[in-house]
Amino acid sequence: MRICKSQCELRLSHCDLHIRIAIVQVRIAIVDYRIAIVQVRIAIVEVRVAIVQAPKKDKAPPPSSKPAKSGGGKQKKKKWSKGKQKEKVNNMVLFDQATYDKLLAEAPKYKLITPSILFDRLRINGSLARKAIRELMARGSIRLVSAHSSQQIYTRATNT
């Protein structure tokens, strides 16, 4: 048995740590020609901890243009906003008499008629706006300007 002393040091930011250990015993057992078991027994001989105070800064802070705060205290923690939430629209899914009369009176006078315009102005949902446009087309109150698979554009019917 051979005693082997070693020392390791660790330096942290404001702290010196010295540890001295001694290896007491090393046992090696060969199980196979490829496998060996190693057991190491160590003893901690000495531990020293020294806390070093951080150097003080002698610099004065530069004068700021902001006025000094009155009273020192903890700053308030930032509160995260939930974001702007869009107000849910409550559009009609069936015509009531007043809305139907408004559709027949005002919609044929619009220069541009699309389902989204009826949706916004009459507060009806999209499928009801498309049905209303089909009915106005059947009555001859409006005419088709351009049709695409996702957007149809209509205008008022003129006598020319």
Q: Using one digit for the tens of pLDDT, what is the confidence trace for 60-111?
A: 666 666 665 566 677 888 888 778 888 888 888 999 999 999 999 999 999 9
> Token pair of 101, please?
């009369």
Quote the DSSP letter at residue 128.
H
Q: Is the pTM for the entire model greater than 0.75? A: no
* Per-residue pLDDT at 64: 63
Residue with the larger pLDDT of the pair 13 and 80: 80
- The answer as to whether 137 is a domain residue is yes
- The answer as to whether 19 is a domain residue is yes
- The dihedral over CA atoms of 139, 140, 144, 149, expressed in degrees to the nearest 10, equals 20
Residue with the larger pLDDT of the pair 59 and 12: 59
* pLDDT tens-digit readout, 104-156: 999 999 999 999 999 999 999 999 999 999 999 999 999 999 999 889 999 99
* Per-residue pLDDT at 79: 81
- The answer as to whether 122 is a domain residue is yes
Kindly indicate the confidence band of residue 2, based on its pLDDT and cuts at 50, 70 and 90.
Answer: very low
| Position 1 pLDDT exceeds 60 | no
* Per-residue pLDDT at 4: 44
- The answer as to whether 58 is a domain residue is no
Its domain, for residue 108, covers 97-156
> Token pair of 115, please?
């389902």
- The answer as to whether 85 is a domain residue is no
- The answer as to whether 135 is a domain residue is yes
- The answer as to whether 152 is a domain residue is yes
**Which CATH number does the domain housing residue 106 bear?**
1.10.10.10
CA distance 108 to 142: 6
Mean predicted confidence (pLDDT) in 5-29? 64
* Per-residue pLDDT at 130: 94
- The answer as to whether 132 is a domain residue is yes
Q: How many domains does the chain have?
A: 2
